[in-house]
Amino acid sequence: MSHRHSVWMLLCSVVLLTACGHVQETRSARLVQAAEFNQRAQNAFLHGKYQYAATLYGQALQLDVAIEYVDGIAINTLNLARVNQVLGKTAQAEQLLDQLLNDKALRYAPKYLAEAAVQKALLHLQKGDAVDAVVWADKAVDWCGPDCKLSGVIANVRAGIALRMNDGEQALFWSDRALAANRDIPLEHANALRLQASARLMMNAPDEALRLAQDALTIDKLLGLPAKIRQDLLLLAQVHERLGHTEQAGQFRQRAARIAAVGMK
């Protein structure tokens, strides 16, 4: 074997040994346990077991607080607020978000604060308070910065606010931006399509609205989201009504009612 080969062999052996000997950075057992609770909660949420998800997020949050893992505290507080919102416990959701937004002792990364602000805006919108929703959407933009992953969500929120204010043009403008920003996020893409369909309907363009609502329905069916499918069907019923298709409108309402009867979110 030549000298060069020997050197190569030696170098390869050293690299291999170093690589094999490399051990992942150690994480405390509590941190791993918190992550496990969080993942179990994610699974429960995806399967529609919201109450169980809330319990697990609560356990993860407790652990994160105990070991003062700041990122974990922010993540699980946001998750817990979201689950409470889905469960209809809006007051609790708002309280959790306020805890995060008004915390003077710990400093959270702006991305978490931006998300908290978006959730606040959504809660205000849910209450019918469009003015405060705008305030929180603006705050979200401030925290979000230029390359923010939440820009598509914020655009949808603004479109929703515009619809609540009966401003079809603004709704169309923001939903257009949301469509462009949410190409890779099916949930938000479908939201943008639904919002744009509503905006088109508001602007008396039912044919366009029909196409958009059907597209939204296709995506929501793929995602398997009962509440969203029901919203699409109700919107399609409205569109058909506007088009004078009374019978079809009735069929869509009936389909929406069947989903509501199952009681899944």
Which stretch, 5-13, 90-98, 117-125, 240-248, contacts other proteins (CB under 8 A)?
Answer: 117-125
Q: Which is nearer to other proteins, 42 or 251 (CB)?
A: 42
Show contacts with other proteins in window 50-69 (CB under 8 A).
60, 64
CB of 10 to other proteins, least distance (A): 19
Residue 22 lies near other proteins (rule: CB under 8 A): yes
Please, which residues have CB within 8 angstroms of residue 128's CB and are 6 or more apart in sequence? 164
- Minimum CB–partner distance for residue 261 and other proteins (Å): 15
The verdict on 175 binding other proteins (CB under 8 A) reads no
* Comparison of 2 and 60: residue with beta carbon closer to other proteins: 60
Q: Which amino acid is at 164?
A: R
Q: Taking CB under 8 A as the rule, does residue 128 contact other proteins? A: yes
24 binds other proteins (CB under 8 A): yes
The CA-based angle 200-202-208, given to 5 degrees, is 20
CA distance 195 to 207: 15
Q: How far apart are CA 167 and CA 40, in angstroms?
A: 42
Asked if 160 is part of the footprint of other proteins (rule: CB under 8 A), the reply reads yes
| Shortest Å distance, C-beta 22 to other proteins | 5
Written as one letter, the residue type at 137 is: A
Q: Is 214 exposed, middle or buried (0-12, 13-18, 19+ CB in 10 A)?
A: middle
Q: How many Å apart are CA 28 and CA 4, to the nearest integer?
A: 45
Site for other proteins in 183-242 (CB under 8 A): 185, 187-188, 191, 194-195, 198, 227-228, 231, 234
Q: What angle do CA 169, 175, 178 make, to 5 degrees?
A: 150
- Residue 78 in the binding site for other proteins (CB under 8 A): yes
Shortest CB 70 distance to other proteins, Å = 11
CB of 13 to other proteins, least distance (A): 15
168 touches other proteins by CB under 8 A:
no
Residues 205, 32: Cα–Cα separation, whole Å: 53
CB count, 10 Å around CB of 30?
A: 13
| From 23, 29, 105, 261, residue interacting with other proteins (rule: CB under 8 A) | 23
| Residues ≥6 apart with Cβ < 8 Å to 66 | 30
DSSP 153-175: HHHHHHHHHHHHTT-HHHHHHHH
Q: Which two tokens mark 126?
A: 């849910």
* Residues at the site binding other proteins, with contacts judged by CB under 8 A: 19-24, 32, 34-36, 38-39, 42, 45, 60, 64, 71-72, 75-76, 78-79, 82-83, 115, 118-119, 122, 125-126, 128, 150, 152-157, 160, 163-164, 178, 185, 187-188, 191, 194-195, 198, 227-228, 231, 234
